[in-house]
Amino acid sequence: MILSRDRILTTHVGSLPRNEKLSDLLVRQEAGETLDQRMLDAEMDSAVRHVVDKQASAGIDVGNDGEQQRVGFQTYVPQRMSGFGGVSKRRRGREFEEFPELVASLMRRFPHVSKQQNAPECQSELKYLNIKPLESEIARFKKISEGKFKEQFMTAPSPGIVSTTMLDAHYGSQEKYLQAIAREMRNEYLAINKAGLILQIDAPDLAMDRTMMYRDLSDAQFVKAVELHVAAINQGIEGIPRDRVRLHVCYGNWEGPHIHDVPLATILPALYQAKVGALSIEFSNPRHAHEYEALKKHPLPKDMILIPGVVETTSNFVEHPEVVARRIEEAVRVVGDRERVIASTDCGFGTFTNREWVIEPAVWLKLRSIREGADIASARLWGKKTAA
């Protein structure tokens, strides 16, 4: 994993907006409809090329395929793994129960989304069946992005978020279920690493699920659950050098009150147990912009990079580069090392197909603002002007 040697590098969390035609195809594929593979391949080629070019022109150093080839960041898994069926009765976040107005607003805004609350459940032994879709994703991205970025990454969901989205109706315990998912998702983790890409593990379960699956626990009990989920991540990535893995943690990528979110300081020591080289954490979400203080209480380990969110991902406000620069400088102060900070977004811009909070033009402006803010911060931190 590259460091910010002579300037602050830039990246983002992963998902980017999908066009309407591709979105329709992905939702139909998820529903089990047989599609013309040549048409789907052509549309994916076009979509990946588009987002790669947009990232590069915005000045992103560490880029990806924008998750254009998946219907959702974790809900695509049952398409590649046997053992799933039926429908999960996943709990909503506390605020969705406390504020029915929020649910009504979401239903008006996103009437035709992919499976999120109604994903299938685990009904029998899990078995990863088909690595070819992932290999195709990797091959398409590598071919299209050649020479575009300083480094490339690809995302894969954590065992924990798979377990709390596609609920268990077979294994009988969360620990056994997590171990089974880690064993099978290891196929994806190893393939991404073997292809020479940085593996990003998407693990909103490590924070978000405090208000969902684990809402009835005490904070101390939730930390124990986080440790169990982190152990499953470590099981899945065993043997992959930690500097080739980064871990994304978030509080749920939606526009809502977030008043029940767990404080970062509560979970940070458990996050440090992950055998990864970088932590990607929200710091621009208005509910969490103060949480750099947690890194003062629990300093970042010397062998980890911090990837702070310096723009948020649920509104069309485009952060001024000076605001971005100040956020980057605050991150550098708490880490104590400018080389171990890479500027990023809070979360993805296209977490699920047909549920994009930010209009596409604003997405590219936000990414550009990260680059411009990083250049301002770099000039101050290195005491010289830097070129994008």
Structure token pair of residue 85: 């069926």
Query: Across the chain, which distance is largest between two alpha carbons, in Å?
Result: 59
Residue 388 counted as domain residue: no
**How far, rounded to the nearest angstrom, does the alpha carbon of residue 339 sit from its chain's CA centroid?**
22
Backbone φ, ψ for residue 48 (5° rounding): -65, -40
Number of domains within the chain: 1
Backbone torsions φ then ψ of 220, nearest 5 degrees:
-65, -40
For 309-344, the DSSP string reads EEE-SSSS----HHHHHHHHHHHHHHHT-GGGBEEE
- Model confidence pLDDT, tens digit, residues 83-95: 999 999 888 778 8
C-alpha 136/C-alpha 7 separation (Å) is 34
Residue 364 within any structural domain of the chain: yes
For the purposes of burial, counting CB atoms within 10 Å of the CB of 296, is it exposed (0-12), middle (13-18) or buried (19 or more)? exposed
Domain membership of residue 354 (yes or no) is yes
Query: Considering the domain boundaries, does residue 259 fall inside one?
Result: yes
pTM of the model: 0.93
Q: In the prediction, which pLDDT does 98 show?
A: 82
Residue 42 domain-assigned (yes or no): yes
Range of the domain at 198: 9-382
Phi, psi of 292 (to 5 degrees): -60, -25
DSSP annotation of 172 reads S
> Which pLDDT value is given to residue 112?
59
Give the pLDDT confidence score for residue 116 in this predicted structure: 53
Say how far apart CA 86 and CA 147 lie, in whole Å. 44
* Residue 2 domain-assigned (yes or no): no
SS3 at position 39: helix
Residues of the chain with pLDDT under 70: 110-117, 353-354, 384-388
Q: How many CB atoms lie within 10 A of CB 101?
A: 8
Cα-based distances in Å from 249 to 113, 117, 239, 383: 23, 20, 22, 32
15 domain-assigned: yes
Average pLDDT score over the chain: 93
> Which pLDDT belongs to residue 197?
98
From first CA to last CA, the distance across the chain in angstroms is: 19
Quick check: is 375 in a domain?
yes
CA 271 to CA 268: how far, in whole Å? 5
- H/E stretch holding 237 reads helix 219-237
- CATH code for the domain of 322: 3.20.20.210
Q: Spell out a b/e string for 161-186, using b for 16 or more CB atoms within 10 Å of the CB, else e.
A: bbbbbbbbbebeebeebbbbbbbbbb
